[in-house]
A = this chain, B = another copy of it.
Amino acid sequence: MVQARMEETLQRLLPALDIVPQRLHRAMRYAVLGGGKRVRPLLAFAAGELTRADPARIEIVAAAVEMIHAYSLVHDDMPCMDNDVLRRGKPTCHVEFDEATALLVGDALQPLAFQIIADHTIADDALTRIEMMRILAAASGSRGMAGGQAIDLASVGKTLSLPELEFMHIHKTGALIRAAVAMGARCGEVPEARQLDRLEHYAKTVGLAFQVVDDVLDSDGSTATLGKTAGKDAVQEKPTYVSILGLARARALAEELRAEAHAALASFGAEAVRLRELADFIVLRKF
């Protein structure tokens, strides 16, 4: 349901195909539409539900986060990065179009995310809207997702300790997942600081669990289930939770993180039901 709503929202917010430059807009839509589990939007909607936010606001925030996520996949797949040809079961953007277009797709999706945030009244208070932009920008930048990607690149072929691996993922995938929760919650009645901290801890835990499960699936799963090339971490000599902990302990860690996510939500009532379900969904999705 969130997936269908997001598809519609993204369709509407992406530049139409007949607007110049058409090829770039076609490639942007190719990169964003019709795919993905929409985990970040799901988290934004669940967090917004907790604060009784208008779904018309949450969908904007979720779309912005998803555009940032989609741009990062396009750039990560490029030859100078992971050099991957398959994503969400389709040829990657630079394969379907070309490298220059893929570069520009990412470059154009980033400001579009900030533009739609600026274009819509996503919170009652203008200062909260500015705070949400700050959260998205910080999560995307060199001390967030882009920085995590740099740490990831630098770690190829190296032995990482578990804390080092965790540090990398807290940036690379965790930052944007935390932003999805933080922004979703701020679309509604902004909770007090202590509750926001608990939500932040929930998001951090779920973000790590997501990565642990991804590593398990990558070592375990098939390309068809993943929708991207399976086993590529091992081929690229990238350290993973499985390579450091082994499969059994990696699975146990995902379970521990799921319990920790639930614990972080203990002080919330029934309105946190979706957030709880998502922690379960993320950990149990393919085990």
Task: Give me the interface of A with B, judged by CB distance under 8 Å.
Answer: 15, 19-21, 23-25, 28, 71-72, 75, 78, 80-81, 98-101, 103-104, 106-108, 110-112, 114-115, 117-119, 126-127, 129-131, 133-134, 136-138, 140-144, 146-147, 149-151, 153-154, 167
25 sampled A-B residue pairs with Cβ under 8 A: A15-B142, A20-B151, A21-B142, A21-B150, A24-B142, A24-B147, A25-B142, A28-B142, A80-B100, A81-B100, A100-B153, A103-B103, A104-B146, A104-B149, A104-B150, A107-B140, A107-B146, A111-B136, A115-B134, A118-B130, A118-B131, A119-B134, A126-B129, A130-B133, A133-B133
Complex contact B104–A107 (CB within 8 A): no
- Report whether B112 and A114 are in contact in the complex, using a CB–CB cutoff of 8 Å: no
- Sorted from nearest, which 6 A-B pairs have the closest CB atoms? A126-B126, A80-B99, A115-B137, A118-B134, A108-B142, A111-B140
- A103 in contact with B81 given A21-B147, A24-B147, A24-B150 (CB within 8 Å): yes
Which B residues touch A101, using CB under 8 A? Answer: 150, 153
Residue of B nearest to A141 (CB): B111
The reply to whether B114 and A137 form a contact with Cβ atoms under 8 Å apart is yes
Chain B: minimal CB distance from A80 (Å) = 4
Residue of B nearest to A100 (CB): B80
B-side contacts of A100, CB under 8 Å: 80-81, 153
Q: Whole-angstrom distance from the CB of A228 to the nearest CB of chain B?
A: 19
Nearest-neighbour CB distance to chain B for A245, whole angstroms, equals 23
> Chain B nearest CB: distance from A129 CB in Å?
6
Note all chain B residues with C-beta closer than 8 A to A142: 15, 21, 24-25, 28, 104, 108, 112
| Most B Cβ at <10 Å: residue of A111, A117, A144, A167 | A111
Nearest-neighbour CB distance to chain B for A142, whole angstroms, equals 4
Closest-by-CB residue of B relative to A102 is B80
A124 to B19, CA, bound (A): 35
- Contact partner, A107, options B20, B23, B75, Cβ 8 Å: B75
